[in-house]
Structure 1
Amino acid sequence: MRFLTTVDFYPFNYLDAANRLSGVHIDLARMICEKLDLSERCQVQALPWEELAPAMEAQRGEAILAGLAMTAENREKYLFSIPYFRFPARLITPRSSPLAEPLHASVTGLRVGVVGQTAHEVLLRDLFPRARSVVYSRQDWMYEDLKQGRIDAIFGDGVTLSFWLAGKASEGCCSFSGGPYLASEYLGQGLAVATSRDLPQLAEAIDFALHEIQVSGGLNEIYLRHFPTGFY
C-alpha cells in the first residue's frame, strides 16, 4: 500500500528539521495502514505536485494523500474517501470581550474584520447579516486592528487563525468565540483520500479505516499533534 504525497503543504505534509517526511497526512497514512493491518507493507512517498497524477496512472501508488481538491474533474479520475478534515470558519475576539450566546444577537452591530473577495466574506454576510463587515486586503492589517481595538472581531479560516492565536504576534490578546462553522457550500467539502477508480474495494477499506480512526479519537490526536490549538 503506497500513499503519494508532497512536501509543501504545512502542517499536513512537509520535511521536518531532520529532513524527515512529517505531518498530518503522514501520521494519518500510518494509522490507516494500522487499521487495515497493512503496517508492514505501508509506504508513503513524496513527489512534486505535478507528478502525483502521472504516478497514479503508472500504478506507482494506490492513493493520493496530499489535499487534492474534490472537483468534478478530479472525480472523473479518482474515487474519494469520506472527508477526514474540514476547514472550519471561526470568529476570534479579544479575551476581554468574549461573545455571548446566542451569537447572532451578540454580533449585531459589531465591527467584524474579514479578508475581502473570499468565501469567508460571503459566509460572514450570510451568517451574520447584522454585523458590520470590515473588509481587508491584508490579513496582518486586520490582526493589528483587532489588537488595537479598531474592530471587535475577526472571521476567517479556523486553521489560519489558530496559528496566529498561538503565535507571538497575537501577544495572547484573543481567543475563539462561538463556532466552528462548517459550511461545505461556502468552504468546500474538505480533504479526502483519492484512490484509483479501478480500486473501489480499496476506497471502501479506507472509508472503513477513517471511520474507525474518527470514532476512536485518532483524528483529534493527530490534529493536536500538529496544530497549536484546537480549531473545532
Structure 2
Amino acid sequence: MSERSNSIDRRSYLKLSGVAGIGTVGLAGCLEDTGDGDGDGGDDGDGGDGGDGDDNQIVAGTAPGFRPFEMNEDGELVGFDVDHLEAVVDETDYELTSWEEFEFDTLIQALNNGNIDVIAAAMTINDERREQIAFTDPYYSADQSVLVQTGGGFQPSDLDDLAGRTVGAQSGTTGEGIIEDEVEDPDYRSYENYVYAVEELEQGRIEAIVIDQPVAESFEANREVEIAFTFETGEEYGLGVRQDADDLREALNEGIAAVQESGEYEEITRKWFDE
C-alpha cells in the first residue's frame, strides 16, 4: 500500500477505504515500510509547508482508526488528537494548513521525508523513536489494557495468562512491543489497524488484544469486547517533529502549556472521553 494518501483540508477528510477510512496499520503508535523519498515539504528545522515556501505553514500527519484519538466519522477526520493539535497550533504563530493520512508505522518516515511537519497520532514517547524524531512535552498519559470477547470463555487476569494464546495488536504500537517482550510464546497476529483486530476478536479468530487503555475503553463501549485487565506502563504521548525542528517544537510546547492553562485541554478531554 502507498505510504501517503490524500491531503485533507483542516477539518475535511476524504474517506478512502476500510471500516475506519484507512486500509492499514495504525497507534497509539512505526517505521518499517519505505517510501519513495521524494518528500515535498521543507526540512529546514523550522517546520515545513508542503513545498509552498511559507515556513509558518505546517502539515499534520495522523493514522485514523484509533478511537477516540483519530478516526473517520461520516467522511470527516475527528478525534482528540485533531482537536488538541488544532488548539495547540492556534496558540502559536504557525498555521495548520492540512492533515495527511498514513499507516501508523510509516508516520516517522513521512515526517523525516518532509511530507508532513508534525505527527499527532497518540504516539508513545520512547527511546527508539527518539533516535529518529524529536518529541514535544507529553500531552497524554495512558496505560495498556487487554481486550477480550464479551462473554467469552477466555478471561485473563495478567500477562502470564496470555502465554501461548492467540493475541493481536496493531503493528508498531506499544501493545505489539509488550506482546513480543513480555508474553511467553504467543501466537501473535499483527494488524494494520486496531479496528480490524477488534473485528477479529469479536469473531473469535483471536483471543485477546493489547491496546492503549483509552482506546480499549472506547471499543468496549461500542463493540462486543470488554477489558479483562489494565496494567501500568508509564506511557506518555507526544507530538512528533523532525529532530532539527527546534523552533517548531518549542512553539508546540508553549501551545501545549497554553491549552492546559486555559482549560481548553479539559474541555477537549471531556468531549472525547466523557471525563
TM-score (norm 2): 0.49
User: Aligned residue for 2:157?
Assistant: 115
In terms of Rg, which structure is larger?
Answer: 1
Separation of aligned partners in 1, 2:248 and 2:259:
16
Contact 1:12 1:23 (C-alpha < 8 Å) held by counterparts: yes
Size of the alignment, in residue pairs?
154
Mapping 1:35-184, distance limit 5 Å: 35-39=91-95, 41-87=96-142, 115-117=157-159, 157=213, 160-161=216-217
User: Aligned residue for 1:4?
Assistant: 61
User: Aligned residue for 1:23?
Assistant: 79
User: Aligned residue for 2:238?
Assistant: 192
Structure 1 position 114, deviation (Å):
7.7
Match of 1:213 among 259, 265, 270: 259
Separation of aligned partners in 2, 1:189 and 1:201:
25
Structure 1 position 222, deviation (Å):
0.8
Contact 1:14 1:21 (C-alpha < 8 Å) held by counterparts: yes
Between the two proteins, what is the percent identity of the paired residues?
Answer: 22
Contact 1:29 1:44 (C-alpha < 8 Å) held by counterparts: no
Separation of aligned partners in 1, 2:233 and 2:92:
31
Unaligned runs of 5+ in 1: 90-112, 119-155, 170-182
Deviation digits for residues 14-39 of structure 1, max 9, x if unmatched? Answer: 1012x111101111121122101434
- The more displaced of 52-61 and 203-212 is 52-61
Structure 1 position 68, deviation (Å):
2.0
Separation of aligned partners in 1, 2:217 and 2:64:
22
Tell me the secondary structure at the aligned position of residue 9 of structure 1: coil
Tell me the secondary structure at the aligned position of residue 198 of structure 1: coil
**CA shift in 2, pair 1:187/1:3, >3 Å:** same
TM-score (norm 1): 0.57
**Root-mean-square deviation (Å):** 3.1
Separation of aligned partners in 2, 1:4 and 1:50:
12
Higher percent of residues as helix: 1
Separation of aligned partners in 1, 2:263 and 2:157:
33
User: Aligned residue for 1:121?
Assistant: none
Separation of aligned partners in 2, 1:200 and 1:70:
17
| Runs of 4+, deviation exceeding 2 Å | 156-164, 166-169
Contact 1:33 1:42 (C-alpha < 8 Å) held by counterparts: no
Contact 2:68 2:214 (C-alpha < 8 Å) held by counterparts: no
Tell me the secondary structure at the aligned position of residue 159 of structure 2: coil
